[in-house]
Amino acid sequence: MSDISLILTAVGSIVLLLFLVMKVRLHAVVSLIIVAMLAGLCSGMEPSQIAKTIEKGMGGTLGFVAVVVALGAMFGKVMEATGALDQIAHTLLNHFGEKRAHWAIAVTGFICALPLFFDVAVVLLIGLAFAIVRRGGGSMVKIGIALLAGIASCQAFLIPAPGPILVAAQLHANFGYMILFGLLAGIPAMILGGPIWGALIAKKVHLELPEHAKSDEVGREGDGKPTFTLALGLVVLPLVMIGLKTIASRFIDPHSSAYGWLQFIGHPFTAIIVACLAAFYLLGVRRNMAPSRIMELCNEAIQPAGVIILVTGAGGVFKQVLIDSGVGGALGHMLASSGLPVVLLAFILAAAVRLIQGSATVAMLTTCGLILPMLEPLGLSGAQLSLVTIAIGGGAIVFSHVNDSGFWLANRFFSMTEKQTLQTWTVMETIIGTSGAVIAMVLSVFVH
């Protein structure tokens, strides 16, 4: 097939995916697999090969993400149930003071969202935003946008948040550089989209405290309250392990046993499971929580994580079909001939898919499938691939509108109209995604 036909297949596949999810209301997992099958057939793949590609895409994606998402969900659940995340939030608020509460809650969202899924982080921390407003800490828009910006920036650019770590694994980016570049992109993006934009738009959009706002008191499992140092240390622990591997391995012989151990210790699997075990003991067993209760919390965390894992795996199927059918390669060749930098192309692709179908995770995975064939001949380093990952994360959150579940999450929690949600949430997401991607583009000039 010609490149034009293959590109039209890609466009048609995304349009069909949008139709099935939004109009037919078919579950995302079923929709993604159906669209992947049709894309394979329309691109000229052998029917027998399509089934093998589906297995390859599902297995290749879940081999990494299932472990990370499941362990991350357990870790986040124990941190939440024992009051560790709550302790981080309140300590930061006390340190910043109520006049700078919007800065405090943005930082809180940025830190506390690391071990959580986006919607879980919003649900857990939203009560804190309501409590600040009740105490006179600022307007609902100013505080709410700051919180959402902290969470969104973390979820777009930082590992081990599910989206960025999945894309980094697919592109074979360097995880240590992902932490560094994620912070360099995420912190300015959070500041611009959160405290600064929130303060500006609050002058135009006014919201009253929603009727459903409740007390921010959180019931805690176990005896006593975790200290701020312990809670923050547990969140930072996996980041330190991953970062140490990247830094130390630059000074050690790659053929030595020490290098092999560093690769093992700093792998996300090892880092997150160590964080889990530390949380189970320090927040659970040591505070007289029964082991059976810790197991119950882990089971509760796995249930919602299962849906995320399946959707992500189905997205991996679609990505693999785009690669094996040649669709991704055709689009990659067209974009390569445009002369645009690869980091900019990654952002544009992710933004286009995000605008069409809404889901940030699907946008990230689809963009991986489209851009991987283009990256292979370029021979980019792990650091450069980390910047491509940052750009994809930025593009995957811009232009959030009515086909995005996050749009409605913000809309309902803050009791906004659709117009107000577009003015606040949508602009905030676009500022964060664009800012992070621009920083990645600037860094790509200097990183080799």
DSSP for 230-288, written as a single string: HHHHHHHHHHHHHHHHHHHHTTS-TTSHHHHHHHHHTSHHHHHHHHHHHHIIIIIGGGT
CB 144 within 8 A of CB 421: no
The pLDDT value given to residue 435: 96
Instruction: Output phi, psi for 369, to 5 deg.
Output: -65, -35
The pLDDT value given to residue 215: 46
Dist. CA 103–CA 232, nearest whole Å:
18
| Structural domain boundaries enclosing 342 | 3-446
283 token code pair: 């927040």
Where on the phi/psi map is residue 344: left (φ > 0), alpha (ψ -120 to 50), or beta? alpha
- Number of folded domains that form the chain: 1
User: Which 8-state DSSP code applies to residue 116?
Assistant: S
Q: Where are the alpha helices (H) located in 280-381, listed in sequence order?
A: 291-324, 327-336, 342-357, 360-375
The pLDDT value given to residue 335: 64
**Who's near 397: CB < 8 A, 6+ residues apart?**
152, 155, 156, 354, 360, 429, 432, 433
Give the count of alpha carbons within 13 A of 350, CB side only: 33
pTM of the model: 0.71
The pLDDT value given to residue 216: 45
pLDDT in tens, the chain (448 residues): 677 888 788 788 878 876 887 688 887 788 889 988 998 999 889 998 999 999 988 887 777 778 877 888 888 888 878 888 778 777 877 888 777 888 988 998 898 787 776 776 776 677 677 777 776 656 889 999 999 999 999 999 998 787 888 889 889 899 889 999 999 999 999 999 999 999 999 999 888 877 655 444 445 677 778 898 998 899 888 878 887 776 777 778 888 888 888 889 888 889 889 999 999 999 999 998 999 999 999 998 887 677 767 877 787 787 788 778 877 667 666 766 777 888 998 999 888 878 766 678 778 877 887 788 778 777 888 899 999 999 999 999 998 876 676 787 788 778 888 889 889 999 999 999 999 999 999 999 998 8
The pLDDT value given to residue 442: 95
The pLDDT value given to residue 255: 83
End-to-end, the C-alpha distance of the chain in Å comes to 36
The pLDDT value given to residue 328: 63
